Amino acid sequence: MENQAVEAMALAGSTNLDFSVVALFMKADLVVKCVILLLVSASIWCWAIIFEKMLSVRRLNKRTDKFEDRFWSGDSLDSLFDKIGSRPMDPMSAVFAAAMREWRRASPNGGGGSTTLAQRIERVMQITADREMDRAERYLTFLATTGNTAPFIGLFGTVWGIMNSFQSIAISKNTSLAVVAPGIAEALFATALGLLAAIPAVIAYNKFSRDLDRYAGRLENFSGEFSAILSRELDA
3-state secondary structure 21-37: HHHHHHHCCHHHHHHHH
What's the distance, CA 111 to chain centroid? 43
From residue 104, give the alpha-carbon distance in Å to each of 78, 82, 122, 226: 9, 12, 14, 15
Sign of CA pseudo-dihedral 157, 159, 162, 164: negative
As a whole number of Å, the end-to-end CA separation of the chain is 106
User: What are the pLDDT digits (tens) for 23-75?
Assistant: 666 777 788 888 889 999 999 999 999 999 999 999 999 999 999 998 888 77
Helix (H, G, I), strand (E, B) or coil at 107: coil
pLDDT of residue 42: 94
pLDDT of residue 5: 41
Phi, psi of 76 (to 5 degrees): -70, 155
pLDDT of residue 212: 95
Residues contacting residue 19 through CB under 8 Å, at least 6 positions apart: 181, 185
Q: pLDDT truncated to tens, each residue of the chain (236 aa)?
A: 434 444 444 444 444 556 576 666 677 778 888 888 999 999 999 999 999 999 999 999 999 999 999 888 877 888 888 888 778 889 999 999 999 888 888 755 555 556 788 888 899 999 999 999 999 999 999 999 999 999 999 999 888 888 877 777 777 666 666 666 666 777 788 888 999 999 999 999 999 999 999 999 999 999 999 988 888 877 76
Domain boundaries, given as residue ranges, for the chain:
29-235
Given a contact cutoff of 8 angstroms between Cβ atoms, the answer to whether 96 and 80 are in contact is yes
Q: What is the DSSP letter of 39?
A: H
pLDDT of residue 199: 95
What is the C-alpha to C-alpha distance for residues 206 and 210, in angstroms, rounded to an integer?
A: 6
pTM score of the predicted model: 0.79
pLDDT of residue 13: 45
What is the C-alpha to C-alpha distance for residues 56 and 44, in angstroms, rounded to an integer?
A: 18
What's the distance, CA 103 to chain centroid? 36
pLDDT of residue 178: 63
Within 10 angstroms of residue 208's Cβ, the number of other Cβ atoms is 21
pLDDT of residue 236: 61
